[in-house]
Copies of this chain bind each other. A is one copy, B any other.
Amino acid sequence: MLGRVTEKSDKSAGQRAGRQQRITDYVVNNGSASAAELAELTGVSVMTVHRDLDELARRGLLRKFRGGVSAQPSTVFESNSEYRLNANVDAKAAIARQALTYVEPGMSILLDDSTSALALAKLLGEVTPLTVATNYLRAIDVLKDVEDVRLIAIGGDYSPTHDAFLGMPCLEAVERLTVDTTFVSTSAMNTELTFHQEPEIVMVKRAMLQSAQNRVLLMDSSKMARTALHRLAPVTDYHRLIVDSSTPEATVEELRNRTEVDVAPL
């Protein structure tokens, strides 16, 4: 408690974010860690570590248990909103750019709570006027100030890990809509099926697909050749599939047997 003065004096405010990042990295690397261990690592009291861990656990990055914390199983970690936002940004941007070619002024579209859909949302200002419905809070934040976009927020139970509105209220709201095109993404797919590990999310995505004339699936190559517990829909249910350019050629060929496939140019 005395050898810490040097650390504290350099910039006493706002170190919290950095410390939490350091904690997260350490735990993800080691699989788990005790509170005392992390206090040692960060040079801060055990109490403060606990406060950090509470926050990180609430955000869905780590899992807390008596004796310390552990990293989330990868499926959970990767479905976390914060994590996803930083993964494959270039591929997602390219996919979104390609998807934009299917958006025309005057259309109504539905976006799910995926980072790919968010990337698309950021481009939608280019083809106004539009009507856009989504349950993804980040997309809502992006779209709310765009001129000539009629934004319909789909409400529901707020989920902190997804930063989105889910549950039955969401399902009912989606079921009452019919749009021209739905753009969705998901966390896992192979050449036959799309999957997701969370049943709540599956139900929302299914409802969204049902509510559209046209269904477009946005998938960056990191999701390919993976499965998850719950089946979402067969690939043939989508009218079009947009993938990024690092998707294996063989996979693309396989997919072309099932539906239209666009490879988004970088």
In this assembly, does A230 line the interface, its C-beta being within 8 Å of a C-beta of chain B? yes
For the complex formed by this chain, how many copies does it contain in all? 2
Rounded to whole angstroms, the CA-CA distance of A167 and B200 in the bound complex is 9
Interface size on A, residues (CB 8 A): 10
Residue on B nearest A203 in the bound complex, by CB: B168
- The answer, among B168, B169, B230, for a CB contact under 8 Å with A168, is B230
From A199, A200, A202, A203, residue with most partner B Cβ within 10 Å: A199
Chain B residues, Cβ within 8 Å of A202: 168
A170 to chain B, nearest CB (A): 10
**Nearest chain B CB to A206 CB, angstrom units:** 10
Q: What 1/0 mask marks residues of chain A from 55 to 72 whose CB sits below 8 Å from any chain B CB?
A: 000000000000000000
Q: Which of A146-174 contact B (CB under 8 A)?
A: 157, 167-169, 171
Nearest Cβ distance between residue A135 and chain B, in whole angstroms?
A: 15
Nearest B-chain residue to A200, judged by Cβ:
B168
**A203 cross-chain contacts in B, Cβ below 8 A:** 168, 171
Q: Given the complex of chains A and B, what is the CA–CA distance between A202 and B203 in angstroms?
A: 14
Chain A 170-182 interface 0/1 with B at a Cβ cutoff of 8 Å (1 = within): 0100000000000
Min distance, Cβ A245 to any Cβ of chain B, angstroms: 35
Taking CB as reference atom, which chain B residue is nearest A156? Answer: B199
Task: Give the Cβ gap from A26 to chain B, nearest Cβ, in Å.
Answer: 28
